[in-house]
Amino acid sequence: MSDNKEYITSLDGSGSINISEDVIAIIALESMSGVQGIGGISSAHGKDISELLSRKNATKGVKVKIEDSSITIDTHVMVKYGNAVNEVAKRIQKEVADAVESMTGLSVSAVNIHVTGVSFDKEK
């Protein structure tokens, strides 16, 4: 991981634990993959990046902001046609917050969902 990434640090009797914002973003992405109604992860510009996912650009659709041990996550998604946008967004918020908190032990103050488009089944 690059050195210009922000880390959240916690101290205990054994030393420090540093968690990169990229790690938090990857946890968020993985937790979203199973949410019913999600049509894909997109960039901030609305372009579907799910086909471009690789180690280098795996976190393009997720932005993590760390301030004073508080985490805010912004994610850009597309919703599958026929699903209630608000319900899908609420499920994403819950899944992301639960996953990040359980895997890192850190508190998530907000998960902001930006719905950038609607996806359609390609089999029609």
Q: Over its length of 124 residues, how does the chain's per-residue pLDDT go in tens digits?
A: 445 667 877 777 888 888 899 999 999 999 998 899 999 887 654 455 444 444 455 567 899 998 877 899 999 999 999 999 999 999 999 999 999 999 998 899 999 999 999 999 776 5
Q: Which of 66, 61, 52 is nearest to 29 (CA)?
A: 61
Residue 51 lies in a domain: yes
In whole angstroms, give the CA distance from residue 18 to residue 107: 15
Residue 59 lies in a domain: yes
Residue 3 lies in a domain: no
Return the pLDDT at 44. 57
What CATH number should be reported for the domain holding residue 25? Answer: 3.30.70.1350
What range defines the domain where residue 47 resides? 21-119
Give me the amino acid identity at 21.
Answer: E
Q: HSE of 1 in the Cβ direction (CA atoms, 13 Å)?
A: 15
**pTM for this predicted structure:** 0.81
Residue 104 lies in a domain: yes
Residue 8 lies in a domain: no
Residue 112 lies in a domain: yes
- Cα 124–chain centre separation: 30
Mean of the per-residue pLDDT values of the chain: 84
Residue 107 lies in a domain: yes
Residue 14 lies in a domain: no
Classify residue 46 by its DSSP letter.
Answer: S
Are 108 and 73 spatial neighbours (Cβ–Cβ below 8 Å)?
yes
Q: Which two tokens stand for residue 101?
A: 């908190």
Q: Considering its fold, how many domains does the chain have in total? A: 1
